[in-house]
Amino acid sequence: MGTQLALVSCPASPFCVDSLFPDADWALLAGQLQAAGVDARVFDYGTPASLERLYPPELRERAARLLNGENGGTGRDWMSRMGGSSRVLGQRLQVLAADVARDLAAQGPPRVVCLRMSAQEGALMCRYIARAVKRSAPGAVALLDASNAAAVRPGAHDEVFDGVLGGDAHAALLAVCRHPANPDRWPASVRLPGAGGAAETHKPASLVLSSGECYEAALYPAAERGTKFNVFTIGTLRRPGNPWQSAGRVLRNVETLHQAHGVRAFCFGAGAVNPEAINSLAVILRDWGLPLSTAWRLRPEHMTAGALLRLAQSGAVALGWSVPTGSQRLAEDVYGRTYSVSAAEKLLRRARDLDMLSSVHLRFPHAADDAHTRAESMRLVRRSGALGAVIHSAITQEGGSPPPIRPLAAETLWRRYRILSGEGWQGQWSAAVRRLFDPHHPGDAAHLLAEISREGHAPYMCERLMLTAHLAGFRDSPRDFLRGLWRALLTGSTDDLTALVEQVNKRARGPIAMAAPSIAALRTAVGN
């Protein structure tokens, strides 16, 4: 009998950087579904080997000439500039899709296949794989998870997909796996727009949320083989009213990954957790005696100078700060945050003094932004000494609720490469024109990112990438690391990419024994 559920991570073309890391969401979902009795497995094709299969030698040469300044085709996107490469790439995508379908059917065809695209450009690859799977297993259910893309363009919902995931993916997949041949039993959020069936009336099936990310070789072989960056994400700590992950579970995941694979590079997505839990976990990691290299996502209102010191002592290398704006007024009135902008700047400078790298996560532009608030955000990046900055789009919500974080639409790897290389980017044409006639218009995210890059900060450099740059030996020059990584992805230089992955993984692993933490310290971290 084959795998009941295949979770497939499909790379975009060109590859996005995130596809080179183990997919924490897929790993967490696989672990939870396994705990619920579903035979799930992750098939991750974000590897240098997949990139090599996509890029033939002539395509690599053409891409390298274009990046070196030679003229290519016309158009704003990378493949248009590459001239007639779309046809070649399309053929390669279909060949890779057929290989993926054969991989899925090797141990028996799966009953349900869920495809996730790492970026908007991966939608075509998802459709090719879905068609190939349905040819090899006509009864299989093909679902599209577009949670990592800004939106699904019209046409993505075609006949190859039986549904598109939305809302609670965990409960939705559990319902589909239990009733694959009966779409009427699926949640309404899974059905295609315009599909028949009654409105949502049933209560979504619940999952066992005590399971953490599952990176075991049997469930996630790509993460274990060393073909991806061995920088593993451990989910959020306990939040009020949300039993995602306790600190004890986080520690057990760290221990399990280290003992199984020698891994000692982790990203902790702390987010809006209890500050005492972060502090206690840092103390335990410090006292373990294991030389960890870690990255953390933090909020300034939850941190103190003492907590920063304990993070540094526990092995923290990079910190990502959730600071949506440098405007005190917008922070309080729009985002409902309680941090002081001046205090946040002091914390980031303190982190720099403790030899930790910082990245600022901004939201821009909001409807309430203007040229003044934009300048305040830029001043925050400048005065804080942050090494990197990431901008998430701010979508105004009706009713005054805070805007969610979404990936930037219309952003491609080529545009990011140009901004990082100092070539700039005009951004959305309408925003550029409006700014000519309205000096108070804040512009768009591309304008702000170009200014961030011109002042020497690393645009798009999140805490995970800073940690990876540190492991690759680029701690003092992360911009060079990011530029080289993006160039390898754009040109299909698999030799350079493989060497970089091997270099990172060599430092991310280590045969160091781990001592058990004290029970008293563990109780403090867990909160009982």
Query: Each residue of 175-234: pLDDT tens digit?
Result: 888 888 888 888 877 766 444 443 333 333 333 334 567 788 778 888 776 789 999 888
The more confidently predicted of residues 269 and 291 is: 291
Q: Which residue type sits at 15? A: F
Residue 373: φ, ψ to 5°: -70, -30
Which band of pLDDT confidence, cut at 50, 70 and 90, is reported for residue 169? confident
- Across the range 347-374, mean pLDDT stands at 93
Whether 404 has a pLDDT exceeding 80, the answer reads: no
Closest CA to 274 of 247, 253, 250: 247
The more confidently predicted of residues 80 and 171 is: 171
Whether 144 has a pLDDT exceeding 80, the answer reads: yes
Lowest mean pLDDT among 132-141, 142-151, 223-232: 142-151
Mean pLDDT of the chain: 77
Lowest mean pLDDT among 136-140, 150-154, 354-358, 371-375: 150-154
- The whole-angstrom separation of Cα 199 and Cα 197 is 7
- Across the range 454-461, mean pLDDT stands at 91
- Across the range 446-453, mean pLDDT stands at 87
Q: What is the pLDDT of residue 325?
A: 96
Q: pLDDT tens-digit profile of 9-27?
A: 887 666 788 889 988 888 8
* Contacts of residue 95, Cβ cutoff 8 Å, sequence gap at least 6: 53
- The whole-angstrom separation of Cα 220 and Cα 258 is 16
Whether 31 has a pLDDT exceeding 90, the answer reads: no
Which band of pLDDT confidence, cut at 50, 70 and 90, is reported for residue 317? very high
Which band of pLDDT confidence, cut at 50, 70 and 90, is reported for residue 520? very low
CB-based contact 259:253 (threshold 8 Å): no
Q: What is the pLDDT of residue 524?
A: 42
**CB environment 358-387: b (16+ within 10 A), e (fewer):** bbbbbbbbbebbbeebbebbbebbbbbebb
Name the token pair of 496.
């350079």
- Measured N-to-C along each axis, helices 275-288 and 247-261 cross at an angle, to the nearest 10 degrees, of 30
- The whole-angstrom separation of Cα 432 and Cα 304 is 40
CA dihedral in degrees (457, 458, 462, 467; nearest 10)?
Answer: -100
- Measured N-to-C along each axis, helices 478-491 and 494-508 cross at an angle, to the nearest 10 degrees, of 140
Which band of pLDDT confidence, cut at 50, 70 and 90, is reported for residue 148? low
Q: What is the pLDDT of residue 13?
A: 67
Q: What is the pLDDT of residue 513?
A: 39
Q: What is the pLDDT of residue 381?
A: 96
Which band of pLDDT confidence, cut at 50, 70 and 90, is reported for residue 89? confident
Q: What is the pLDDT of residue 123?
A: 75
* Contacts of residue 150, Cβ cutoff 8 Å, sequence gap at least 6: 120, 406, 407, 408, 409, 410
Whether 516 has a pLDDT exceeding 50, the answer reads: no
Q: Which residue type sits at 465? A: L
For the chain, what percent of residues have pLDDT higher than 90? Answer: 27
